[in-house]
Each structure stands twice: as structure tokens, then as C-alpha cells.
Copies of this chain bind each other. A is one copy, B any other.
Amino acid sequence: MSPSSVPPCVILNEPQLAENIGAVARVMANFGLSDLRLVRPRDGWPQERAWPSASGADWPLDNAKVFDTLEAAIADLKLVFATTARPRETRLPVLTPREAAAQLSADVALGRAVGLLFGGERAGLETDDIALCQGIVSIPIDARFRSLNLAQAVSITAYEWKMTVDDRPWVKFEQNVEDPADQSSLLGLYGQLEDELEKAGFYHPPEKKPSMVRNLRAPLARARLTEQEVRTFRGVVTALSRGRGRVLAKLAAKGVKDEPET
């Protein structure tokens, strides 16, 4: 985004329950949205009951603007998409949330004010409301059960917006996955493991050893162990084989011979 770009506003047309307005504010805050516009909220505004359901996302509620008409609420916007589960009545293009987010993002990058419009809980959006918009966002819900609540619908569209903002939103977590170990370290681990298994009579019958070794190495290779993890596994092999040594010593003391299992 350019420095002057502003994320989409969220316009709720004739919302009913203050708790739902608060839930929408909570969702908005999660995805970096803050401009909340309310058109004829049923019970007036502000409503105290909204704030608890925002779970601390007070700022969209504190700064919410109230409008008498949808036309006034979207007057300054260059692009508005209407989210509706029933986009039959109009001849506007119907977009997935992903396509809509891409278009919103492109407009925001050009410094344009954009918005996402949602209808009231019960009635949704009227055809005349939708006709004020440039397109319809249709969330791909199951034809057999269409019943997303308002905050869930906002969460999916806002999530798609956020995905366009963050090229790689999870990059901050990449520290989780450290550099994988060198192949030489892995081969050292394989060698130690395979030697110990040989000593333990694991390769039985012996002609199967090559395939058995391959079958052991593959999962370790897929795990992309770090150097530390290689050291840990080497310690595991050492501990296991020494433990076996102690058992053998005990058995030998009792006169029992170590035989490969068959």
C-alpha cells in the first residue's frame, strides 16, 4: 500500500443487534480495519451493549459514523461491494471474497476510498441498496445450508483483504523453522543409526538391508532436521544402544546369549 492508502470501510445497513455491531468491530480490528459506518441502526447509536462484544476493539465503535441513508454513507467512496448470500436480483458482477479483495486492494493502492457493505441480520440488502454498489461479494457457502452470521461474513471478507495487504503474513513466525542441518550431519546420524542397528541384528534377512536403510532414511530426510535436532537424535541413538549394552551385560552375567530376533 502507498502511504496515503486507507483500508476499506465497513458499512452496516440497518443493523439490528448492538452485540453484532460489537462483534463486527472485533473482527475489523483483527484484520486492520477501523472505519465503521452504520446506516439507520435499529436501536439507535451508541448502544452500550456493543462494547462488551467487541472484546476490547473499542476504536471502531468509538469512531463509528451514523448515517440516515446508505447513499450518504457511501458518498465519498470510489468502490463499494455489497456482500449478500442472494445476488440474484441485480446485474452486477458477482465476485468471490478473494476477487473482491484483489479489486479493493488495487483501488486502495491508487489512493481510492473503498468499502464493504453488509445488510442487516434479518433482511439482508434490498435490491436498491445493492444497485448502489459496483459489485456483489458472494461467499461460497453450501447451497444446502446458507446461514453465516454477520460477523462471520465480515471476518471472511476482511480476512481476504488482509491477505492482500500481507505478502507473506506469516513471515514473523518463520523463526519457528530453523535452518535445516547439512547433509553431512544427516549422513553422520544415518551412519551411527545404521551401525547400531547392524550390531543389534536389525537387518534380517541381511539381503534386505539396503531397502531397510532406505526406508529409515526417508522419513528422517523429510523431517528436515536442524543441526540441534541431529545432535539430539544422535544422543538418542547413543543412549538406546548403550542401554542395550547394559542389558546385554546383564544377560551375559546370567549366561544368556544375544541372538537376533527372527
Total copies of the chain: 2
Please name all residues of chain B whose beta carbon is closer than 8 Å to the beta carbon of A87 when the two chains form the complex.
173, 176
Please name all residues of chain B whose beta carbon is closer than 8 Å to the beta carbon of A23 when the two chains form the complex.
149
Please name all residues of chain B whose beta carbon is closer than 8 Å to the beta carbon of A30 when the two chains form the complex.
141-142, 145-148, 152
A6-40 vs B, Cβ < 8 Å mask (1 yes, 0 no): 00000000000000000100110111100000000
Does A138 lie within 8 Å of B170, measured CB to CB? Answer: yes
Q: Nearest Cβ in chain B — how far from A46, in angstroms? A: 20
Stretch at the interface among A89-97, A195-203, A205-213, A248-256: A89-97
Known A57-B145, A140-B159, A140-B169: A177·B31 in contact at CB below 8 Å: no
Does A91 lie within 8 Å of B226, measured CB to CB? Answer: yes
A56 on the interface (CB 8 Å rule)?
yes
When chains A and B are docked, how far (Å) is the Cα of A170 from the Cα of B88? 11
What residue of chain B has the Cβ atom nearest to residue A59's Cβ?
B145
A62 on the interface (CB 8 Å rule)?
no
- List 11 A-B residue pairs with CB atoms under 8 Å apart, sorted by A's residue number: A26-B147, A29-B145, A30-B141, A30-B146, A57-B145, A87-B176, A94-B176, A140-B163, A140-B166, A152-B152, A156-B156
Contacts A91-B226, A96-B163 known; list 16 others, CB within 8 Å.
Answer: A27-B148, A30-B147, A88-B173, A88-B176, A92-B176, A92-B177, A93-B176, A136-B176, A138-B170, A139-B159, A140-B166, A141-B162, A142-B162, A148-B155, A155-B156, A159-B159
A55 on the interface (CB 8 Å rule)?
yes
Does A94 lie within 8 Å of B147, measured CB to CB? Answer: no
When chains A and B are docked, how far (Å) is the Cα of A94 from the Cα of B176? 8
A234 on the interface (CB 8 Å rule)?
no
A174 on the interface (CB 8 Å rule)?
yes
Give the A interface residue count (CB, 8 A).
53
When chains A and B are docked, how far (Å) is the Cα of A260 from the Cα of B69? 37
Q: Which parts of A82-104 form the interface with B (CB within 8 Å)?
A: 87-88, 90-98
Please name all residues of chain B whose beta carbon is closer than 8 Å to the beta carbon of A94 when the two chains form the complex.
170, 173-174, 176-177
A178 on the interface (CB 8 Å rule)?
yes
Known A56-B145, A142-B162, A152-B27: A90·B32 in contact at CB below 8 Å: no
A181 on the interface (CB 8 Å rule)?
no
What residue of chain B has the Cβ atom nearest to residue A27's Cβ?
B152
When chains A and B are docked, how far (Å) is the Cα of A93 from the Cα of B92? 41
Does A140 lie within 8 Å of B162, measured CB to CB? Answer: yes
